[in-house]
Chains A and B, each alone.
Chain A
Amino acid sequence: MKENSEITKGKTTEGTKNNYKYNLNPMKIYKLHKEKLGEFLQKLSEEFAVYAPVESDGVSAFIELEPGQEPALELTRTQRPPKEVFYPQTEIMLHFDKDEVQSTEYKGKPIAVFGVRPCDAKSFVIIERVFVEPKYDDTYWSARRNGALVFTLACNEPLQSCFCNWMNGGPFDNTGSDVLITDIGDEYLLEPISEDGEKYLAGNDILEKATEANVKAAQNVRKKAESSMSKAPKLDTLKETLDSLWNEPFWEEISAKCLGCAACTFSCPTCYCFDIQDESRRGKGARIRLWDTCQMPLFTKEGSGHNPRPTQKDRLRQRYMHKFSYMVETQDEFGCVGCGRCVSFCPVNIDVRSFITGILETAQNKRGRQ
């Protein structure tokens, strides 16, 4: 992944290219008849806690399936991001009382996420790079993530607000997947991507081998999906452009209508900032970790009262710089997977895509004038 760029300041953002390798060898691809999905999930749930998209009371999220419950796989995108399967909004880190402290990492069955989309599967990889590194392992994340299987469902029908293809991804991208599933009508094709995926599928007697016709159908479905998306602009100069435009007046313009809520950050699959709070009553309590947002003033307010990001302009700029510049430095790729949730949920229609095309245009105009 690091072949196309260098880890130095001021580098370009070639980042990860589409690392799909759509395996054309039918010998390696499995097939599952849709009527047998329930059986497949039932067998999966013997070993794993299975999380899948479910709609309940009008809200779609990744929830642990009850026995016999059908996942809502027709939804291209859940409202709540699946990062909460591994990184819940509220997580108790430890319980304490006057006598002892007890750490409370997840101790349940290994997790299988079924039906997650390529953008969200990629988000697991991005967040993992923050939470797990040689010197430090976030045990709360790892307790859920280790041994987990990711069954990614490729997107036959990308939504209007989707832009994964701008972010070096795509509706059939397999980054972060153990198995990539393609819906070809009456059947699902299951392609093992990782060793763990391969091991799980190999032993599964509910599956059959895919035929060449099946694979052809899958390729057609993929072609249709990819061509339905709006063409991605060239973003290889995005990071440098952003780095050079720190003081431009357009930051004021785009942040003027921003409400400063957390709709974008809390629905974003790659946002990972958190707060830690102790809540106790009469000598007993818990230390909890909870999602936090850089979009609110309290995020950077210091004990002295000073706030280095005092206005919404500073905070909105921070969000975009983080996703498109700083994370490129630390992870060698954009911190955005192009899922489109922020575009869809922003109450005032701040659209990151317009922002990106807008600043590239601003930069071009500046260069033209020079």
Chain B
Amino acid sequence: MADFEPKIMTFLCNWCSYAGADLAGVSRIQYPPNTRVIRVPCSARIDPLFILKCLQDGYDGVLVSGCHPGDCHYISGNYVARRKFAILKTALVFMGIEPDRVQFSWVSAGEGEKFSIVISKVTETVKALGPAKKLVKHTHSFEDRGKTD
């Protein structure tokens, strides 16, 4: 368990969070390498299906980050997204999925330092949970060869 390195999917909105991540990069701020980034135009683009598919695919954690409320490039995208995320989180936690598997943050374009802190925190909390097991699809894959279905 000590050498378990989680795989984390991060969705970053283009205008704020992605730019913030970029700033962390050019500022040479160190942060854990466990995350893969997908850039979206706005946090409102995030369909809960994206997050669930990541979990089904075996990702140990998912992070979604957008602009601070009031600063959305598309005016109100993150407001609508905020409601969606609240409901998604409620549903997943109620079902028994560990709350730290799916996390959300607001990171602005100038917050390079904050971005690295967010990534570190998410990596640390997901690492403590261990590999994701719930919702991970195993059947039909070649690894199951020999098992009866």
State if A and B touch, Cβ cutoff 8 Å.
yes
Listed in ascending order, the chain A residues whose CB lies under 8 Å from chain B are: 88, 90-92, 95-97, 102, 104, 108, 279, 281, 284-286, 288
Q: When the two chains form their complex, are residues A92 and B140 in contact, meaning their CB atoms are under 8 A apart?
A: yes
For the complex with contacts A88-B149, A96-B142, A285-B142, 6 further pairs of A-B residues with Cβ separation under 8 Å are A102-B145, A108-B148, A284-B141, A284-B142, A284-B143, A286-B140
Per DSSP, chain A at the interface is strand
Q: Separation in Å of the B136 CB from the closest CB of chain A? A: 11
Q: Separation in Å of the A117 CB from the closest CB of chain B? A: 26
Q: When the two chains form their complex, are residues A90 and B149 in contact, meaning their CB atoms are under 8 A apart?
A: yes
Interface: B47 (CB within 8 A): no
CA distance A200 to B144 in the complex (A): 35
Please give, as numbers and ranges, the residues of chain B lying within 8 Å of A279 by CB-CB distance.
140
Name B145's closest neighbour in chain A (CB-CB).
A95
Q: Separation in Å of the B10 CB from the closest CB of chain A? A: 20
Provide 26 A-B residue pairs closer than 8 Å at the C-beta atoms, listed in order of the A residue: A88-B149, A90-B149, A91-B149, A92-B140, A92-B149, A95-B142, A95-B144, A95-B145, A96-B142, A97-B142, A102-B145, A104-B149, A108-B148, A279-B140, A281-B57, A281-B141, A284-B141, A284-B142, A284-B143, A285-B140, A285-B141, A285-B142, A286-B140, A286-B141, A286-B142, A288-B140
Q: Which of B91-149 contact A (CB under 8 A)?
A: 140-145, 148-149
Per DSSP, chain B at the interface is loop
Q: Separation in Å of the A27 CB from the closest CB of chain B? A: 42
Q: Separation in Å of the B51 CB from the closest CB of chain A? A: 18
Name B142's closest neighbour in chain A (CB-CB).
A284
Please give, as numbers and ranges, the residues of chain A lying within 8 Å of B149 by CB-CB distance.
88, 90-92, 104
Please give, as numbers and ranges, the residues of chain B lying within 8 Å of A102 by CB-CB distance.
145
Q: Which 5 A-B pairs have the closest CB atoms?
A: A284-B142, A286-B140, A279-B140, A97-B142, A95-B145
Name B149's closest neighbour in chain A (CB-CB).
A92
Q: Separation in Å of the A130 CB from the closest CB of chain B? A: 23
Count of chain B residues near A, Cβ 8 A: 9
CA distance A157 to B148 in the complex (A): 36
CA distance A97 to B143 in the complex (A): 10
Please give, as numbers and ranges, the residues of chain B lying within 8 Å of A108 by CB-CB distance.
148
Contact with A along B63-76 (1 / 0, CB 8 A): 00000000000000
CA distance A108 to B144 in the complex (A): 16
Q: Separation in Å of the A95 CB from the closest CB of chain B? A: 5
CA distance A95 to B141 in the complex (A): 7
Name A96's closest neighbour in chain B (CB-CB).
B142
CA distance A91 to B148 in the complex (A): 10
Please give, as numbers and ranges, the residues of chain B lying within 8 Å of A286 by CB-CB distance.
140-142
Q: Separation in Å of the A29 CB from the closest CB of chain B? A: 37
CA distance A279 to B57 in the complex (A): 12
CA distance A92 to B145 in the complex (A): 10
Q: Which of B36-68 contact A (CB under 8 A)?
A: 57
CA distance A108 to B149 in the complex (A): 12
CA distance A286 to B149 in the complex (A): 12
CA distance A274 to B107 in the complex (A): 48
Q: Separation in Å of the B53 CB from the closest CB of chain A? A: 11
CA distance A104 to B145 in the complex (A): 9
CA distance A88 to B149 in the complex (A): 10
Please give, as numbers and ranges, the residues of chain B lying within 8 Å of A288 by CB-CB distance.
140
Name A277's closest neighbour in chain B (CB-CB).
B140
CA distance A104 to B57 in the complex (A): 24
CA distance A96 to B143 in the complex (A): 10
Please give, as numbers and ranges, the residues of chain A lying within 8 Å of B140 by CB-CB distance.
92, 279, 285-286, 288
Q: Separation in Å of the A97 CB from the closest CB of chain B? A: 5
Residue of A92, A279, A285 most packed against chain B (CB within 10 A): A92
Please give, as numbers and ranges, the residues of chain B lying within 8 Å of A97 by CB-CB distance.
142
Please give, as numbers and ranges, the residues of chain A lying within 8 Å of B142 by CB-CB distance.
95-97, 284-286
Q: Separation in Å of the A186 CB from the closest CB of chain B? A: 38
Q: Separation in Å of the A66 CB from the closest CB of chain B? A: 15
